[in-house]
Chain A
């Protein structure tokens, strides 16, 4: 039977994709961020999952205001990268897993989650940046990917509780699929950030830290967090964090955090990253959970500021 073995949470900032595509990962601005994902790349290369269920939000790329599905499941055989206004990212076409995706759609709908089934869809930075962060720049992605696209652009997004319960239904769906597949689920987006208006640039380290602290061991204390709290405390785009709760719901109650990374800033955003393993995996611990903070010594980073401005 298919098995859900682990979860990855990560931000999906578009500028991270641009930094990778333009060969800037070693520059002073970006180097600390990419260094924080090095253990994760090793971890997933050793784990060799067959399929990634990738929870993300479309940023007005595949869907516009014409159709706004709350939960859309990608059931196609492949998903091309989208042109988001500056040309498509130079990354491989994403290969799907139509059999498992269709099985999930049926299982979830009968479980009373009314999924939208998508057979043709381009995927934007929300999906491809997490793949780049975890797998680098291969000629082909080493996994099949099932996109699960969540509306967090048009208010209201689904509640945290609904997302968490969808995660539980996803686990049931995966584990009733009659093929030996090892599946990892990614929950992406966040953490605190606001891209719009005079309050743009909001970062709430305390909120993010609390969210990271409770995510693995006390998710119940996060699932009822109202949208208002996300928007006020974590910024208008911080509400993307409800998507992490789908990943959490899909893992066992006693899943373990094996890696954590937090970094400010990537462009306008606080980058958060967790790896959780379900019980039963051979003990494969990453280097001690560590954290890189924002660099308070701004003067030493004039070069970095100038670089950002020139972008």
Chain B
């Protein structure tokens, strides 16, 4: 149901109804990491902890792999996955750098220089030409 215009924005996933339904349990797992008790249980045995949430095997694997983009593709939302990042001691900027495939240094420099410009980043066609 996502709208065509949004689909054309490169490197961006709209958290719409479809994603929300797909990612419900993945996101609710992330939500559970708001309590220290749960964070400890997760750190103790990640695989065992994940079985508390009826997510797909693919979703669970993306968590174990800390594959931040894959989690979003499978219905994760950044405000939820950031709780997993926080549990790992990573900031929003740390995982942003990881999702862009950049080093932390290069990403930080890009931000200090004014960020990623909109020019060349509005349409998938611009990335394909890339």
A205 to B114, CA, bound (A): 8
Looking at the complex, which one of A15, A196, A202, A231 makes contact with B78 (CB distance below 8 Å)?
A196
Q: Report yes or no: B109 in contact with A232, Cβ–Cβ below 8 A.
A: no
Given contacts A14-B92, A84-B86, A153-B79, contact A265 B112 (CB under 8 A): yes
Given contacts A60-B79, A153-B15, contact A84 B34 (CB under 8 A): yes
Given contacts A199-B121, A268-B93, contact A155 B112 (CB under 8 A): no
Contacts of B27 in A (CB 8 A): 60, 64-65
A10 interface residue (CB < 8 Å to B): no
A237 CB to closest chain B CB (Å) equals: 8
Q: Report yes or no: A231 in contact with B35, Cβ–Cβ below 8 A.
A: no
Given contacts A85-B86, A202-B118, A207-B118, contact A265 B111 (CB under 8 A): yes
Given contacts A15-B93, A85-B34, contact A264 B6 (CB under 8 A): no
Q: Report yes or no: A199 in contact with B93, Cβ–Cβ below 8 A.
A: no
Residue of A64, A194, A200, A304 with most chain B CB atoms under a 10 A cut-off: A200
A65 CB to closest chain B CB (Å) equals: 6
A80 CB to closest chain B CB (Å) equals: 13
Bitwise, B74-117 to A at CB < 8 A (1) or not (0) is 00011110111111000111101101110011011111111111
Given contacts A197-B11, A201-B100, 13 further A-B contacts (CB under 8 A): A18-B91, A60-B79, A65-B24, A194-B116, A195-B96, A199-B9, A200-B97, A201-B115, A202-B115, A267-B92, A267-B93, A301-B112, A308-B108
Mark A residues whose CB is within 8 Å of B. Answer: 14-15, 18, 59-61, 64-66, 82-87, 153-156, 192, 194-207, 228, 231-233, 236-237, 264-265, 267-268, 270, 294-296, 298, 301, 304-305, 308-309, 311
